[in-house]
Amino acid sequence: MKRILLFVLLFGFLPFSANAAVKCSDVKYGNENYHEKMEELAKLARLPDGYYNRYHEDVVSDLCKGNAKGIRDSIDSGFVKRSEVEAIIESLGMDNRSDTGKSYGYSRQKFEDMGLCSACADNVAQHYTKKQNSKCGKLAKQALEGNPNAIEELQSFPSYCIWKY
């Protein structure tokens, strides 16, 4: 079942890589900025210690070529973890999430990086992606743009940022 899911992920979502920060064309071996883009991909995919190894390179190459067998073999042989492959798929934009979903995931992580608790970051990310013109949505945008006063205010988690589920 897991193999079928991986196959569907690979071939069903290849067209969606156009909106990713790192694309297959960026990480084709031999490109001028290959190593920089692979480092960026490693950080986006949250690979161990933010670094990639030769097996991650193989997975990226196989993903971009649509070689499901190569990816399966890398996982089955223990060279890479399935979770790493899934993170690479997501980072290359092959995961078929909507732009709002991608924005939510990205912003939620950024809010956690700013020091908000997990639940607080979730609430703020909900406002940021679904109610951009709300007081909290505007504050969140300012914080993501680097405004230190906005970051400080978000860290206090104001009551108007509580999301109503």
In this structure, the number of other CB atoms found within 10 A of the CB of residue 104 comes to 18
Domain map (residue ranges) of the chain: 2-91, 99-161
State the Cα–Cα distance between residues 97 and 99, nearest whole angstrom: 7
The pLDDT, as a whole number, for residue 98 is 64
pLDDT single digits (tens) 22-33: 888 888 888 888
The pLDDT, as a whole number, for residue 39 is 94
pTM of the model: 0.49
pLDDT single digits (tens) 57-69: 999 998 888 788 8
Helix extents (H) in 45-147: 54-65, 68-76, 82-91, 99-113, 118-130, 135-144
State the Cα–Cα distance between residues 129 and 140, nearest whole angstrom: 10
The pLDDT, as a whole number, for residue 36 is 93
Tokens of 96: 């078929």
- Stretches where the chain sits below pLDDT 50 are 1, 4-20
The pLDDT, as a whole number, for residue 8 is 41
